Amino acid sequence: MALRELSSLEKYLGLKKPNKYSTQGDKKVPVLQNNNGPPLLGLATIACHLVKEAKRPELLGDTAESRAVVQQWLEYRVTKLDSCAKEDIKIILKDLNLYLQDKVYLAGNRFTVADTLMYYGIHPLIVDLAVQEKEHCVGCSEQLSVSPRVRDQSEAPISPTTTTVDAAGQRE
Amino acid sequence: MELFVSEGNPHCLKVLAALEVTGVQCSVQYVNHEERVVPFLSRPTLPALILPGGLHLFSSNAICRYLFEVSGQESSELCNQWLEWEATDLQPALLQALYMAVLQGKGSEVSTVLQGPLNFLDQSLSKGGTPYLTGEAVSVADVVLWAALYPVLSDSSQALGEHKSVNGWFDRVASVHSCLSAAQKVLQGKGLQGMKSYMQRQPAPQSSQGRNTQPCNCNPA
């Protein structure tokens, strides 16, 4: 999953040369093999590295405040979403819905890499929800599936209906 | 800018240590554990920082990172990596360790629970060959990891076991005076017992096995 996301992110960022990834441990933490130094570990860390590599620093936030908010949601993704219990899904979506009520994107008015990674993390949760429940989370589902806000920008969103091939060339 | 913390909350130790180390000007309010400072979160979450623009930060690591950045120390990729590891790998083990030590009186089993993360930290420190996690000077990664480990490691030296590099690093960071003064503010000199009322309000940690076998999103349709 994580490797597929990173490869989608690379495409969105327009990085020409695909990076080499592997995973580590039971939790399959992504590892980026780096020619110029030691390997980088962790989905959020690698995503930020790719954004810098693509010279798109604005995707990490354009002020100290928005950079902090971006990092916060990246952390939220890898701690809360990636290990959430079934009964927590509704609370998470409710909280996000309330948060997004008066915002266009997670860090305010500008699209950031936090939107991409949160999108990938929430997508499977939203897909599981019954249609009726989705209506209670207008803000989230709007951001995630209906509105072109995120979809257009994250060029290759992971669709639940198509099989994609991850960076390692494995079908998931 | 306003920072909300509660006594006995280990995450608040991180942000208070970062605040003291960076010397950033910010008003600090002590509230009780149940106070809902962040309006959009269903569960009370502390610490919380209200940013000048009105946005809320509710992750202790993001708050620490922000305090370092506004004091002129932007975090490097290596810092990012340590902060992510702290949140995803160290915290679940620490939560379990604190739960056992503070509420179940099983302090002797703490070292078993922390074995994995401490091994990783020890190996990285000895391989890196620098006094601190990311180089020759204290960074946000040192402050966050030190503060996260402080309640457990200061209480029972046996938790450290044979981790010599961690031991040396832990003492080096502790010698930064402001770190210990933050610990005093949060734990009130009561050690682990100072965290009892906080721990009683936390859900029992899931066993690490349960977490890995049933993550809700490992199953794309």
Predicted confidence (pLDDT) at residue A161 exceeds the cutoff of 50: no
Q: How confident is the model at residue B154 (pLDDT cuts 50, 70, 90)?
A: confident
Does the interface predicted TM-score (ipTM) exceed 0.85? yes
Cα→Cα distances A122→A62, A114, B174, Å: 24, 12, 39
- Inter-chain touch A81–B217, beta carbons under 8 Å: yes
- Higher-pLDDT residue of A61 and B207 is A61
Angle (CA) A142 A7 A146, round 5°: 10
Residue A144: the pLDDT is: 57
Decide if pLDDT at B188 tops 60: yes
3-state helix, strand, coil split of chain A in percent (to 5) is 55, 10, 35
Nearest residue to A120 via CA among A169, A155, A91, A95: A155
How many Å lie between the alpha carbon of B59 and the closest alpha carbon of chain A? 6
Please write the tens of the pLDDT for every residue from A4-50.
Answer: 999 999 999 999 888 889 999 888 899 998 777 789 999 999 999 99
Inter-chain Cβ pairs, chain A and chain B, closer than 8 A: 117
Which residue would you say has higher pLDDT here, A116 or A157? A116
Question: Which of A69, A105, A137 to mutate to test binding with chain B, by most B CBs within 10 Å of its CB?
Answer: A69
pTM: 0.87
Q: Return the ∠ at Cα B5 (arms to B4 and B7), rounded to 5°.
A: 155
Say whether pLDDT at B219 is over 70: no
Residue B217 has pLDDT above 50, yes or no: no
Question: Residues of B with CB below 8 A from A125's CB?
Answer: 216-217
- Chain B residues close to A68, C-beta within 8 Å: 51, 57, 62-63, 65-66, 69
